[in-house]
Amino acid sequence: MIKIEDFSLAWRWISSSYGNFSKDTLNKLIPLSEDQARALIATTPINFPVGAKRFDSTEGSELTRQWLKGLVNDSQTVTICWDQETALTLPWLVFCDYYEVFEFDSSAM
């Protein structure tokens, strides 16, 4: 198991200029190993499936958070893959609250 402090993108959540997450929130982030990330990428569809819900996030951060929270209930998780070797699993509501800190070019959710 990879500790969050050892995860290559941990600076996004530890740095005061980005997320500066609480210890409690950091403990909810579960980094995947490179092998787990590769396996996930190999089985993930490249495009959105037919009927997938879409939202224009340029409408603003708060509207985007509200839309995201309306998609699933708070007991679910989401896994984010930045590339074939970098992925993280976290609670859906943590993602909804901080989605802007998790997204950047080459992210696939």
Q: What rounded mean pLDDT belongs to the chain?
A: 85
Whether residue 7 has pLDDT greater than 90: yes
The reported pTM is: 0.80
Q: What is the pLDDT of residue 26?
A: 95
Which is higher by pLDDT, 38 or 17? Answer: 38
Q: What is the pLDDT of residue 20?
A: 86
Give which of 85, 97, 84, 80 is closest to 22, Cα–Cα. Answer: 97
What are the beta bridge partners of residue 80? Answer: 88
Q: What is the pLDDT of residue 74?
A: 64
CA atoms of 106 and 3, how far apart (whole Å): 23
With a pLDDT cut of 90, the percent of the chain lying above it is: 36
CA atoms of 33 and 24, how far apart (whole Å): 22
With a pLDDT cut of 70, the percent of the chain lying above it is: 89
**Positive or negative, the Cα torsion across 21, 53, 79, 81?**
negative
Whether residue 25 has pLDDT greater than 90: yes
pLDDT in tens, 26-44: 999 999 999 999 999 898 8
Q: What is the chain's alpha carbon radius of gyration, rounded to the nearest angstrom?
A: 14
